[in-house]
Chains A and B, each alone.
Chain A
């Protein structure tokens, strides 16, 4: 009986730590810091849970990490440097990679929901 009482705080602490561990996702995914991306596609779409999700494929300029930027904007072009803000998370959508003509179901990628997207200042400046 005494042993059980002694164990109770330790078990409670362990449960609390496990719960905290389960609840804390990658905080990076929910930050809204500005990221610079290079668009690697024209406007396209992916399919998640049988719903079409419009946007662009892009690579983060600093890390080279690939993202799908979910936005209904269609005014950007492949190769543009843009700054985006918004949360992201990993997903397994169905995708069609236009450049290779390859269809993939359950493609592992990061989807960023665009809150704000604009051409990077350097990309906007007129070139001589």
Chain B
């Protein structure tokens, strides 16, 4: 009976520590990466996000329907050029960047963290050979 507090107290403290860590954690549930066809519509930029991170990247538009949606594509080696079309794989981080377009008010653009970007080269049309 006298040993009960000795055993229970560390367990209780460990439980409380884990609970606190869980509550304060910024960890988000794992989500699978998404593929999009995107077009780069800006030069490389270095911006501050809503969460206060400083990141390199490009403004890009994606999606099949008009008007196209915009995202800020974050990558660590910005070597692409404005106008390039890419197939991108990555995740939206939940962060955003405030940007203004022309004379419009500022717009909140979601941050997309790029894991893989490859040129979107359209396949050559399948033209039957002349007989």
Interface residues of A (CB under 8 A from B): 45-47, 50, 94-96, 98, 100-106
How many residues in B have their beta carbons less than 8 Å from beta carbons of A?
Answer: 12
Best-buried of A94, A104, A106 by chain B (most CB within 10 Å): A104
Best-buried of A50, A95, A103 by chain B (most CB within 10 Å): A103
B44 within 8 A of A: no
Interface of chain B, main secondary structure: strand
In whole Å, how far is A68's beta carbon from the nearest beta carbon of chain B? 13
Interface residues of B (CB under 8 A from A): 75-77, 79-80, 113-119
Check if B115 sits within 8 Å of A106, measured CB to CB.
Answer: yes
Residues from chain A with Cβ under 8 Å of B76 in the complex? 47, 50, 94, 105
The 8 closest A-B pairs by CB, nearest first: A94-B76, A47-B76, A103-B117, A96-B77, A101-B119, A102-B118, A96-B79, A105-B115
Check if B75 sits within 8 Å of A94, measured CB to CB.
Answer: yes
In whole Å, how far is A95's beta carbon from the nearest beta carbon of chain B? 7
Check if A104 sits within 8 Å of B116, measured CB to CB.
Answer: yes
CA distance A103 to B116 in the complex (A): 5
Residues from chain B with Cβ under 8 Å of A104 in the complex? 115-116
